Chains A and B, each alone.
Chain A
Amino acid sequence: MAIEKKKSFKPRTARVLAIVFLFIGILLGFFNVPSYFDRFLAWSGIRDLTGFTFQQSLLHFPFRLGLDIQGGTHLVYQADVNNISTSEQGSSMEAVRDVIERRVNLFGVAEPLVQVERGGAEWRLIVELAGIKDINAAIRLIGETPYLEFKEARPDAERDQILERQKEGKMLNEDPYFLATELTGRHLKKTELSFNNQTYQPEITLELTDEGKVLFAELTKKNIGKPLAIYLDGAPISAPVVREEITGGKAQITGDFTPKSAKELVGRLNAGALPVPIKLIAQQSVEASLGKESLERSLSAGIIGFILVAAFMIFWYRLPGLIAILALLLYTAIVLAIFKLIPVTLTAAGIAGFILSIGMAVDANVLIFERLKEELRQDKGLQDSLEEGFRRAWTSIRDSNISSLITSAILYWFGTSVIKGFALTLGIGILISMFSAIWVTRTLLIAVLTKRAQNWKFVFFSGFSK
């Protein structure tokens, strides 16, 4: 393996770079916790002069918090696509997504997520509603989304056969009277409410799309003299007998409606009838206060963890330890800024992954410093020992981090949203730590190494040197 001798830069360059790092760290700190910056602006009087606050500026990116932290609900629906040809399943699911999105928007949830997911032959719809108070109402409203179908009468022979079997207690799920057709709520363009001139009964007019128009014409032509049933959510609401072929693409429902229920139905149909039926197969809901608690706990775990690591590093490695902790602070600032910019959704597990990466980030430093001590024991000069320590530790830092990255990548692929969060934060952490632990620490160490420091070798040894 080719070992390149890295050229070290001069202490002066290193000092300039060190100051640059310090500034970047402070800037990122403000970026991460803008409220402190605003407090500073208010205190210094700049806010009164310019009216500028960081949190209202374009530079303000909030952290994106996961459902388990801000409270909310994660719903998984399974779509029943049995009646749709394989080639059209994708577009039908997109239609479902649009409809659900419109419904979800009615609750005024900030950034709702509605996503189509395909698992093998199954189509699923993932709905995530963050920070909503009445989760149950939301689920009810999504679940109640009407599913509209047009059905034609079964041939008599088939009907009798099914009725016969049903007497024996078989085929109970089969509707003996009507057969599903291709025409469904997917072909609905507009719904209108009107009242019959003579009976004053409410009537619902369904206007069909162009494709629906053709299907409806075929269907009515085929079924002249026979009933054509309109089903809502699997229940028949009206079954008028077809008198003639209808080519205008308009159908009327005169069911057993009160004016109020008719109006509601029209509203729901206009918001969108679902082209395929969906069923809730999984839900995970967290109440906001529980989420807040787990955020507070995660944060305190992070702070305690950081303090413990810092205390240990400074106790054991003295000056280099202190510098490693400065690099770790910069590391924390960079990673948090990346979380804001991408943005990474922070879940309790994700924060745990980040905290874990704080512990792992100093590993590279531990490796380097142990090497450094070995070199120093051989009575090499500080400068040389430093270069050697960094150079020799590199291969093991590289190999060990790559194996951790492999696991993060696989976890990300394997993951449900909880695990994805963990894998992503851990992976980002590992990547950034390679930069901060090696490059930043090295620069800072060179920056503080003056000629005089040669006499202070003791600050480079551990509390318990052998």
Chain B
Amino acid sequence: MNIIGHKYIFLAISGILILGSFLALAFWGLKPAIDFTGGSLLEVEFSGNRPSIESVKSKLEPFDLGNIIIQPVEKKGMILRFKHIDEALYQLIITALGEQEASGKQPESGIRNPETVITKRFDSIGPTIGRELSRRALAALVLASVGIILYLAWAFRNVSKPVSSWKYGVIAVVVAFLHDVLIPVGIFAALGNFRNVEVDALFITALLTILGFSVHDTIVVFDRIRENLRILKGSEPFAMTVEKSVKSTLVRSVNTSLTVLFVILAIFFSGGETVHYFSLALALGVVFGTYSSIFIASPLLVIWNDWTKSK
């Protein structure tokens, strides 16, 4: 397989994916969770029959909760999302939900048993906290990338021929951002549109972890390039050195990603609700991160080198 030789094919594939992600973001956008917007999430379990979504909605109407989104969970549970409320209102809501079947329609068994409602989880976040989190998330993304570029520029400082050292850092981070982070974000925009998947603080955490992992993966390839450059001292074309380096790190890249993917899939399938989409984001990031460190980052290094030379 000739990776550098076919570089434009790989770049085109990624280009299409990146364009698609941009479009998904532009048209659908991400669905922010209450962490960012403020609002309430209430997970309840009914000890008896679960009332219908319609009846719960009508029961909650008098409380003026704004747009209520209700989603059934497992057999007896239900997740409700609405605006930020205070403790007193929350108590009223729980009482109202409990009255559901007792005062509602004809009970099936003929026994008028008031349903007990158990709160499994209740999060209510005010809008100020949400805004603050969004600000911090943005700052964290910027800081992490700057930190990594600086470190890479320093770590590759002795390798300046034929490509100056800071370019390694820039390529590693830009590829990580525009490819490995952006594509999962695009996929989550689509998931948000079709499956109502929301992005929360953990999603930002996943993105930052992807950033770290993806750069990590690219560095291993670049490190090999760095080493081969030192050994060969420019006796062969740069493109050939890169090709050789990518190939010799190929098995490692795939194997590392596989072990990481194994644990992520374990979390995805049995880690529970809170980390379900978190692990999905991570898995996507690892797959695209591995792909980009082999097929995108190194070819870009060659292209940048050719371009500088032809000037």
| Residue ranges of A at the interface with B (Cβ–Cβ < 8 Å) | 1, 68, 76, 78, 119, 122, 135-136, 139-140, 143, 280-287, 289-290, 293-294, 297-298, 300-302, 304-306, 308-309, 312-313, 316, 348-349, 352, 355-356, 358-360, 362-363, 366-367, 370, 374, 392, 395-396, 399-404, 406-408, 410-411, 413-416, 418-419, 422-423, 426
Contact B256 A283 (CB under 8 A): no
Closest to A306 in B: B263
| B residues near A395, Cβ cutoff 8 Å | 223, 226-227
Interchain residue pairs with CB less than 8 A apart (5): A304-B270, A352-B271, A360-B213, A367-B252, A401-B216
Contact A414 B211 (CB under 8 A): no
| A residues near B123, Cβ cutoff 8 Å | 282-285
Contact B201 A419 (CB under 8 A): yes
Contact A286 B212 (CB under 8 A): no
Contact B122 A309 (CB under 8 A): no
CB distance from B181 to the nearest CB of A (A): 12
Partner of B273, one of A294, A308, A360: A294
Contact B274 A349 (CB under 8 A): yes
Contact B129 A282 (CB under 8 A): yes
Partner of A366, one of B43, B219, B255, B272: B255
Contact B143 A410 (CB under 8 A): yes
Partner of B267, one of A313, A355, A396: A355
**In the bound complex, what is the Cα–Cα distance between A399 and B216 (angstroms)?**
8
Q: Which secondary structure dominates chain A's binding surface?
A: helix
Any chain A CB within 8 A of the CB of B171?
A: no
Partner of B282, one of A282, A356, A406: A356
Contact B129 A403 (CB under 8 A): no
| A residues near B212, Cβ cutoff 8 Å | 403-404, 406-408
CB distance from B283 to the nearest CB of A (A): 11
Partner of B272, one of A143, A316, A348, A374: A348
| Residue ranges of B at the interface with A (Cβ–Cβ < 8 Å) | 35, 43, 86-87, 90-91, 94, 118-126, 128-129, 132-133, 136-137, 139-140, 143-144, 147-148, 151-152, 155, 158, 201-202, 204-205, 208-209, 211-213, 215-217, 219-220, 223-224, 226-227, 248-249, 251-252, 255-256, 258-267, 269-275, 278-279, 282
Contact B220 A400 (CB under 8 A): yes
CB distance from A187 to the nearest CB of B (A): 28
Contact A370 B251 (CB under 8 A): yes
| A residues near B226, Cβ cutoff 8 Å | 395
CB distance from A153 to the nearest CB of B (A): 32
Closest to B142 in A: A410
Contact B122 A283 (CB under 8 A): yes
CB distance from B189 to the nearest CB of A (A): 22
| A residues near B151, Cβ cutoff 8 Å | 399, 402-403, 406
| B residues near A297, Cβ cutoff 8 Å | 270-272
Contact A352 B217 (CB under 8 A): no
Contact B120 A349 (CB under 8 A): no
**In the bound complex, what is the Cα–Cα distance between A1 and B229 (angstroms)?**
13
Contact B128 A287 (CB under 8 A): no
Partner of B266, one of A122, A308, A370, A403: A308
Contact A355 B263 (CB under 8 A): yes
Contact B121 A358 (CB under 8 A): no
Partner of A392, one of B133, B204, B211, B227: B227
Contact A305 B262 (CB under 8 A): yes
Contacts A281-B126, A359-B259 hold; do A367 and B220 have CB atoms under 8 A apart?
yes
Contact B260 A360 (CB under 8 A): yes
Q: Which secondary structure dominates chain B's binding surface?
A: helix
Contact B86 A280 (CB under 8 A): yes
| A residues near B211, Cβ cutoff 8 Å | 407
- Known contacts A399-B152, A399-B155, A406-B147; 4 further A-B pairs (Cβ under 8 A): A301-B269, A355-B271, A366-B256, A403-B212
| B residues near A413, Cβ cutoff 8 Å | 140
CB distance from A312 to the nearest CB of B (A): 6
Contact B248 A400 (CB under 8 A): no
Determine which residue in B211, B256, B267 has the highest number of CB atoms from chain A within 10 A of its CB, and name it: B267
Contacts A287-B119, A298-B271 hold; do A282 and B147 have CB atoms under 8 A apart?
no
**In the bound complex, what is the Cα–Cα distance between A284 and B271 (angstroms)?**
20
Contacts A302-B266, A399-B223, A410-B143 hold; do A1 and B256 have CB atoms under 8 A apart?
no
| B residues near A301, Cβ cutoff 8 Å | 263, 266-267, 269-272
Partner of A359, one of B125, B264, B273: B264
**In the bound complex, what is the Cα–Cα distance between A143 and B212 (angstroms)?**
42
Contacts A348-B275, A349-B275 hold; do A289 and B120 have CB atoms under 8 A apart?
yes
**In the bound complex, what is the Cα–Cα distance between A297 and B201 (angstroms)?**
21
**In the bound complex, what is the Cα–Cα distance between A408 and B273 (angstroms)?**
23
| A residues near B155, Cβ cutoff 8 Å | 399, 402
Pairs A-B, 3 closest by C-beta atoms: A407-B212, A305-B263, A281-B126
Contact A348 B271 (CB under 8 A): yes
Contact B273 A355 (CB under 8 A): no
**In the bound complex, what is the Cα–Cα distance between A358 and B259 (angstroms)?**
9
**In the bound complex, what is the Cα–Cα distance between A143 and B90 (angstroms)?**
14
| A residues near B256, Cβ cutoff 8 Å | 360, 362-363, 366-367
**In the bound complex, what is the Cα–Cα distance between A323 and B232 (angstroms)?**
34
Contact B139 A313 (CB under 8 A): no
Closest to B252 in A: A370
Contacts A1-B158, A289-B120, A294-B273 hold; do A359 and B263 have CB atoms under 8 A apart?
yes
Contact B128 A356 (CB under 8 A): no
Contact B223 A143 (CB under 8 A): no
| B residues near A359, Cβ cutoff 8 Å | 259-264
Contacts A370-B251, A396-B220, A416-B133 hold; do A281 and B87 have CB atoms under 8 A apart?
no
| A residues near B125, Cβ cutoff 8 Å | 281-282, 284
**In the bound complex, what is the Cα–Cα distance between A335 and B16 (angstroms)?**
42
Closest to B132 in A: A119
Contact B118 A308 (CB under 8 A): no
Contact B205 A349 (CB under 8 A): yes
CB distance from B301 to the nearest CB of A (A): 16
Contact A396 B224 (CB under 8 A): yes
Partner of A283, one of B124, B132, B270: B124
| A residues near B273, Cβ cutoff 8 Å | 294
Partner of A282, one of B126, B208, B227: B126
Determine which residue in A308, A349, A367, A400 has the highest number of CB atoms from chain B within 10 A of its CB, and name it: A400
| A residues near B35, Cβ cutoff 8 Å | 416
Closest to A411 in B: B208
